[in-house]
């Protein structure tokens, strides 16, 4: 019976202990791409927040200057 299984090429190997700790190659690539995408979106979000902060600061300065009395009038 074992000779027949070996002859047709059907051999069951016991799972290796190290294979359970390591993700499959395809999932490693997906995790790596997700990490890169996450860094890119974090950077874009930070830049967007900085631009909005500058807009708020400029609007605040414009409002504050509009309440100051004009010299000469």
Angle in degrees, CA 34, 35, 36, rounded to 5: 90
Residue 9 is predicted with a pLDDT of 52
**For the chain, domain boundaries:** 25-68
Residue 70 is predicted with a pLDDT of 77
pTM confidence score: 0.51
What confidence tens digit (pLDDT) does each residue in 57-73 have?
Answer: 999 999 999 998 876 55
Mean pLDDT, consecutive 10-residue stretches, the chain (73 aa), reads: 50 52 71 94 97 97 90 59
Residue 1 is predicted with a pLDDT of 44
φ and ψ of 59, to 5 deg:
-65, -40
């Amino acid at each position: 019976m074992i000779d027949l299984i070996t002859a047709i090429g059907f051999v069951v190997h016991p799972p290796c202990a190290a294979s359970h700790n390591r993700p499959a190659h395809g999932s490693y690539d997906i995790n790596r791409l997700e990490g890169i995408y996450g860094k890119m979106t974090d950077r874009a979000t930070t830049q967007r927040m900085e631009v909005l902060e500058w807009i708020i600061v400029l609007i605040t300065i414009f409002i504050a200057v509009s309440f100051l009395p004009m010299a000469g009038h």
